[in-house]
């Protein structure tokens, strides 16, 4: 049965974040009830998720390296987005991650002030070279799979607010999803965010209904089907009505939905660790 491998120190998993850092990410976004830039909101959400996963892997004063992280930014430049001691690294273990935050911030998360470390800062410049980002991700994931052929398949979150400016990334997305370990193919989540308070959010649909512009269709069609563990946590903990045909796609996501999508997509960390 695919997507059933445990995450273990001897056989860890990889989570990859592709972060849109284009100029439009300077636009407003309500982050935790406070109006900030979309780049700020995305950075907070991803850093907060990584911090929570880090804590799940803490054992006293040490950390179990059951998960590795990779963060790729794409905008004026495309490449690894870690800063400080982790700058330039393609993927980083939990234990190395825990030792290398660039600073700590306090933000409203889930309605309350929360302090957590961050490993990369908001950036918003240039276009949206999504094709290039997926090429870079494919290089990193291919290396990972070569070294971890029997691991739980890598999970990729592509978080964007706009259309690709360097071509149609459909083929690049298909190439990513064709990569696999012995436990299944790479999982791709396409998460589209919006700063428009009147935009209608769509979460993990099995069809798009009236939301049929070409760009939305492309992101929807190229997202992976939700694996069983994600469907289970979505329905039980978030009271969704997910089906076997639900896809890893959200459209016009406000901040709360972005957090939910990241939690559901990465819930394997909570489900299958030992």
Instruction: Give tens-digit pLDDT for 38-50.
Output: 999 999 999 999 9
Mean pLDDT of 108-113: 74
Q: Which two tokens stand for residue 141?
A: 């994931």
> Do residues 88 and 34 make contact, with C-beta atoms less than 8 angstroms apart?
no
CA gap 268, 270 in Å, rounded: 5
Mean pLDDT of 31-36: 70
pLDDT at 113: 84
pTM: 0.95
pLDDT at 241: 94
Mean pLDDT of 74-97: 96
Instruction: Give tens-digit pLDDT for 133-178.
Output: 999 999 999 999 999 999 999 999 999 998 999 999 999 999 999 9
Task: Using pLDDT thresholds of 50, 70 and 90, give the confidence band for residue 253.
Answer: very high
pLDDT at 230: 94
Q: Which two tokens stand for residue 126?
A: 């240039």
Instruction: Give tens-digit pLDDT for 133-144.
Output: 999 999 999 999
pLDDT at 212: 66
Q: Strand pairing partners for 7?
A: 273
Higher pLDDT, 120 or 269: 120
pLDDT at 35: 75
Task: Using pLDDT thresholds of 50, 70 and 90, give the confidence band for residue 270.
Answer: confident
Mean pLDDT of 1-8: 88
pLDDT at 273: 62
Question: Domains of the chain by range and CATH?
Answer: 13-271 (3.40.50.410)
DSSP state of 90: S
DSSP string, 121-187: -----S---HHHHHHHHHHHHHHHHHH-TTSPPPEEEEEESS--SSS-THHHHHHHHH-EETTEEPE
Higher pLDDT, 245 or 195: 245
* Buried residues in 256-271 as b, exposed as e (16+ CB within 10 A): bbbbbbbbbbbbbbeb
Q: Which residue has the tokens 């400080």?
A: 84
Task: Using pLDDT thresholds of 50, 70 and 90, give the confidence band for residue 262.
Answer: very high
Instruction: Give tens-digit pLDDT for 202-233.
Output: 999 999 877 668 899 999 999 999 999 999 99
pLDDT at 61: 86
């Amino acid at each position: 049965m695919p997507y059933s491998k445990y995450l273990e120190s001897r056989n860890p998993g990889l989570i990859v974040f592709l972060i849109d850092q284009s100029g439009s990410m300077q636009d407003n976004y309500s982050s935790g009830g406070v109006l900030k830039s979309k780049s700020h909101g995305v950075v907070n959400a991803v850093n907060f998720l990584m911090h929570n996963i880090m804590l799940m892997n803490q054992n006293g004063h040490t950390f179990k390296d059951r998960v590795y992280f990779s963060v790729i930014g794409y905008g004026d430049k495309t490449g690894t987005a870690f800063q400080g001691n982790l700058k330039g690294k393609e993927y980083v273990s939990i234990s190395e991650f825990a030792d290398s935050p660039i600073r700590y911030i306090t933000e409203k998360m889930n309605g309350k002030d929360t302090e957590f470390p961050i490993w990369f800062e908001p950036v918003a410049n240039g276009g949206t070279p999504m094709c290039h980002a997926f090429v870079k991700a494919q290089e990193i994931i291919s290396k990972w799979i070569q070294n971890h052929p029997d691991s739980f398949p890598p999970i990729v979150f592509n978080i964007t607010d706009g259309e690709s400016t360097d071509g149609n990334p459909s083929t690049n997305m298909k190439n990513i999803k064709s990569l696999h370990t012995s436990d299944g193919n790479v999982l791709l989540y396409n998460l589209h965010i919006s700063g428009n308070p009147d935009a209608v959010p769509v979460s993990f649909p099995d069809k798009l209904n009236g939301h049929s512009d070409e760009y939305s269709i492309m992101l929807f069609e190229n997202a992976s089907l939700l694996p069983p563990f994600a469907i289970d946590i979505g329905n039980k903990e978030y009271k969704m009505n997910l089906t076997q045909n639900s896809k890893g796609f959200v459209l016009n996501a406000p901040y709360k939905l972005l957090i939910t999508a990241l939690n559901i997509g990465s819930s394997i960390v909570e489900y299958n660790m030992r």
